[in-house]
Amino acid sequence: TTKLKLAELTHLITKAGMKSASQANHDAGIFSVAAQLFRSMDFDDKTSTSEVCLSVLREIVGKKLPPKLETEFVVECLERIRDADASQPAAKDALDRALAASRGSSEFIHLVKRFLIVDQYPELLRLAQAMPSEQIGVEAITALLELKQWDLLQSALTGDDTAAAITTAEAMGNSQNGSISGPLLAIVNSADVNIDVRRAAIKAASKVNHGAQELVKLIDEKKLDPELEQTVAAALHSAPSRDARAAAQRLFPLPPSKDNMPTPPITELTKLKGNLPNGRMVFFSTGTCHKCHVVDGMGRDIGPNLTEIGSKLSREAMYESVLYPSAGISHNYELWTVVKHDGTTVNGMLTSNTDAEVSIKGDDALVRAIPKSDVEEIIKQKISMMPADLQKTMTTQELADVVEYMQSLKKR
């Protein structure tokens, strides 16, 4: 029977090689038959099956199969080759070709994990960093976690590339793998790590039960860096764990909205349907958003431009940014205080700092230049310029309307 199966597989390979690439790539019928043959070999003698698969790999060489189809054949063969045969030239060459053809795909991740291809582990990390919220990125980071690549992940989290460290933490959180809490909490508690990376680690750790529990414990025991409290508040309010969300309500109760009604948790807010036209009206009026943000050229240029915010933030992240503005302060939008020798202070964004003067843009969008000779101290604050109680200017429904409007602001 093994000889018969080899003959049938060889025939399929020849048939596939005779077709054009465009046809073969879309001809699921060929591989459907092959897959049945491969599955049937799972009940055969392991040694015979391994020999058949090695023969199939040798047969593929030079046949110029469509890349996708060749990779499918190679993966099925490699899965059934004995470890003793894995070092055979046919197997090694096929694996190299399959890796090259499948790079950036689920098949690639599976091959790297299945055959412990150590020199490709950094490529899995790059995939996770490039697509931390997508299926491929989550599969890649999950593979690294299951392979216990703690040193590689630790290096990424503590390296000089802040953006890569943040996306590494984000991918780890999206894996919802229980093993992430230890490494991430170590980052949270490390004062030497960039504050934005620590914030990302908090959000990621909150997505697993043990991580959320430890964050609550840090708050209860007053061991958390005060600069990170608002980040923890936002993370716990959005955590998958019901216990974590209950703890958030206890530790960080949301202030009431304009109608003096309790503000619902973020998990409930995200389910509300907003009215887009009304949201635009509130944004540019009573919500006061336009006083600090520009949309399509309208508004004051103080905070980040929101013209394309709907392409950048999820609905949940938008609620977090409104309710907990200090949980994740955008770079270059930190609040600074200049203390003058006469005791007066000037607050706002730092727009320039030279030997001659320091310039601060206030919440009125006006830039004030202060001679250095008048300056006693320049202090970087740990809170955002954005008010932490904007929901008081809106009802809960109006807040949902504003978020609905911001979700519509997509990149054109």
Judge residue 145's burial from the number of C-beta atoms within 10 Å of its C-beta, 0-12 exposed, 13-18 middle, 19 or more buried: buried
Dihedral sign (CA 296, 299, 301, 302): negative
Q: What is the pLDDT of residue 27?
A: 59
Provide the 10 A C-beta neighbour count for residue 89: 10
pLDDT at position 2 is 65
Find, among 336, 349, 348, the residue nearest to 377 by Cα.
336
Instruction: Round to the nearest angstrom and report the end-to-end CA distance of the chain.
Output: 60
pLDDT for position 185: 97
Instruction: Give the CA dihedral 239, 409, 364, 329, nearest 10 degrees.
Output: 30
For domain 266-328+388-407, give the CATH number: 1.10.760
Q: What is the pLDDT of residue 19?
A: 59
Quick one: pLDDT band at residue 144, thresholds 50, 70, 90? very high
Compute the distance between CA of residue 117 and CA of residue 284 in angstroms, rounded to an integer. Answer: 55
In the chain, what percentage of residues exceed pLDDT 70?
94
Domain residue ranges of the chain, discontinuous segments joined by +: 2-102, 150-251, 266-328+388-407, 334-384
Q: What is the pLDDT of residues 42-72, one digit of tens each?
A: 888 888 888 888 888 888 776 777 777 778 8
Instruction: Out of 125-129, 179-183, 322-326, pick the least confident.
Output: 322-326
- Each residue of 86-108: pLDDT tens digit? 778 888 888 888 888 889 998 89
Residue linked to tokens 């969300």: 245
Q: Is 9 a residue whose pLDDT tops 90?
A: no
Instruction: Look at 7-21, 49-63, 277-291, 321-335 and tell me which has the smallest mean pLDDT.
Output: 7-21
- Which pLDDT score is estimated for 275? 95
Greater pLDDT, 75 or 212: 212
Average pLDDT over residues 313-328: 86
Average pLDDT over residues 179-192: 95
pLDDT at 62: 67
Is the pTM above the cut of 0.75? no
259-282: per-residue pLDDT in tens? Answer: 778 888 888 899 999 999 999 999
Percent with pLDDT over 90 in the chain: 43
User: What tens digit of pLDDT does each residue of 201-247 get?
Assistant: 999 999 998 999 999 999 999 999 988 998 999 899 888 888 998 89
Residue 308 — pLDDT band, cuts 50, 70, 90?
very high
Report yes or no: 393 and 270 within 8 Å, Cβ to Cβ: no
Average pLDDT (352-356) is 91
pLDDT at 334: 82
- Which pLDDT score is estimated for 191? 93
For CA atoms 236, 242, 248, 249, the dihedral sign is: positive
Do residues 170 and 140 lie in contact, with contact meaning Cβ atoms separated by under 8 Å? no
Rounded to the nearest 10 degrees, what angle do helices 2-18 and 28-40 cross at? 160
350 in Cβ contact with 334 (< 8 Å):
yes
Q: Kindly list the distances between the CA atom of residue 217 and the CA atoms of 122, 201, 223, 248, in Å, as whole numbers in the listed order.
A: 34, 16, 8, 12
| 83 vs 73: CA distance, rounded Å | 18
pLDDT of residue 8: 76
Q: Could you tell me which of 214, 303, 206 has the C-alpha nearest to residue 245?
A: 206
Nearest alpha-carbon partner for 331 in 204, 237, 197: 197
Least confident of 58-67, 142-151, 277-286, 313-322: 58-67
Helices (H), 324-411: 396-407
Identify the CA nearest to 140 among candidates 37, 131, 190.
131
Which residue's entry shows tokens 């879309």? 26
- What is the CATH number assigned to the segment(s) 334-384? 2.30.30.100
Starting at the earlier edge strand, list the strands of the sheet with 345-353: 367-371, 357-361, 345-353, 334-340, 375-384
Dist CA 402 CA 321 (whole Å): 12
Query: How far apart (Å, rounded) are the C-alpha atoms in residues 335 and 349?
Result: 5
- The pLDDT of residue 331: 67
Give me the pLDDT at residue 28, please. 67
Topology annotation, domain 150-251:
Leucine-rich Repeat Variant (1.25.10)
Tell which wins on pLDDT, 257 or 216: 216
Q: Which tokens hold the place of 266?
A: 């973020």
pLDDT of residue 26: 47
Around 238, how many Cα atoms within 13 Å sit in the side-chain half-sphere?
A: 27
Axis crossing angle, helix 121-130 with helix 162-175, rounded to the nearest 10: 90
Say what the pLDDT of residue 286 is: 83
Q: Name which of 95, 55, 56 is nearest 75 in CA terms.
A: 95
User: How does the average pLDDT of the chain come out, rounded?
Assistant: 87
